[in-house]
Chain A
């Protein structure tokens, strides 16, 4: 019995998300082959083949369509109120599902950060960041947190 759906996008093709404490074991992953998004990003054949081969090697189901539409259809199909995903950094990718995130239909999975720093702090130069991050960065990663 599948309880949760995780949308994998091109910044987070990672099956370990199924082990995230927020989703539990009974979860399924999927990827959307969104040509509008790829076109906006000007992804060439080399990158698209790389992404597709990664998805095939991990046996991730791939659906053709727009990110937003396919996520909606998946939610309807499995009678779910929301999907899970990792919040992308790329504004174009975020924009492609803006209607879903605005309607709270996407729940972001928080990953253990590389270093635990106050995200409000504006470290405009790397070495300011590194001064604060160095000690934590040189430690092994802690267990995942929810």
Chain B
């Protein structure tokens, strides 16, 4: 039985299956390790923001004549565009999942 939230082992009681409880406690602990979803999202947001800033600075430098490699400016703009679309895709997917959860009757 797959138990992503670690709820099945907790509900089955300590006397019924101590081995299972033990295992679920261990897996819950391993789930808690590593960066959480929130940290991951914040990191990705910061990276997208950095790419947007890079593209903005590059475009400003090109317009003011500080640099003349139009290719690098276009590449920075493309990167920012793709990263933002990726973030938007993740956001839309998350909202979809949230709406799905909202439909559940309790």
Q: Do A and B come from one complex?
A: no
Q: Which residues of A contact B (CB under 8 A)?
A: none
